Structure 1
Amino acid sequence: MKRLLLLFIFLVMNTIGFSQETETKYDENLAKSLNADERGMKKYVFCLLKTGTNTTASTAETQKLFEGHMTNIGKLAKEGKLAVAGPFMKNDRNYRGIYIFNVETIEDAEKLVATDPAIKANLLEAELTLWYCTAALQETLKIHEKIAKK
């Protein structure tokens, strides 16, 4: 009987503990500033960068185009148009990297892709897809600036 009473008390205490409301941390101003919907999410455009069709570019030309590619990434990030970018490690699928554009349409992303010298020269090929993700993703670059030494 004593075990049954202890089990009952344990179950009641757990039920009380789990049924209490947890404190919400919702920040309406932050949500609005990030254009978040009620789930804290928003639309982006995901860009998969693959090896392009240009296989005849010289080493010097390729280097210059990729310097322009990196400069363009920095420019788009500063403008708030690029939430995340980064290369893939060596792989057998010809995947080179990704962009997550902070725009809501493929058409807007196509305009941004057209500013990339490596894509214009067909060293890279861009595949664009609408993507739904946390609006907080836009804050990644601010945090990155605080942790990158170079």
Structure 2
Amino acid sequence: MKKLLTAFLLSTIPGLLLAQNSDYNAELADSLGADDYGMKSYTLVMLKTGGVNIEDKAKVDSLFRGHLDNIGKLAAEGKIVVAGPLEKNENNYRGIFIFDVSDKEEVAKLLLTDPAIKEDLLAYDLYNWYGSAALPVYLETHSKIEKIRP
């Protein structure tokens, strides 16, 4: 009897550990493209200092204004779900983007719509990234808490 009880417990515990979440919303998961773990693939972009050094401050300002405007446009289209600068660092990384696009070729084309990248003021590295499928919906909340838009 003891062996039977032990065998039963050992066979059911893994199933209990993997039990479904009682808060699970299949419709929401499907609408966000989530897998069984609530995750999905994105493309992480590490922005870094580009190969050109532009001395004309007005031109640099114009390129960065276009850079920020392009981020807003891509976010409004649902392409970029995270964007932000990094502090100075030894790798010359300047910022990150997370695209709700898993195809790196498509992301590379979208990046060329950024004037700072197009002019090589900024360069980039692309990585596949696996994260929460809920990431895109945080932007709805962010727009309600940002007092000043860049």
TM-score normalized with structure 2 length: 0.83
Q: Give the % identical residues.
A: 50
| Count, aligned residues | 132
Preserved contact between residue 54 and residue 60 of structure 2 (Cα < 8 Å): no
Q: Deviations over 1:5-58 (max 9, x none)?
A: xxxxxxxxxxxxxx9x89610011110110111110111000000000111341
Q: Displacement, 1:92?
A: 2.5
Alignment counterpart, residue 97 of structure 1, candidates 95, 98, 107: 95
4+ long deviations beyond 6 Å: none
For residues 59 and 95 of structure 1, the distance between their equivalents in structure 2, rounded to whole angstroms, comes to: 21
Per the alignment, residue 33 of structure 1 pairs with 31
Q: Deviations over 1:100-128 (max 9, x none)?
A: 00101101111111111000011100111
Alignment counterpart, residue 47 of structure 1, candidates 45, 48, 63: 45
Q: Which runs of 5+ in 1 are unaligned?
A: 1-18
Q: Which has the larger radius of gyration?
A: 1
Per the alignment, residue 60 of structure 1 pairs with 58
Preserved contact between residue 84 and residue 140 of structure 1 (Cα < 8 Å): no
TM-score normalized with structure 1 length: 0.83
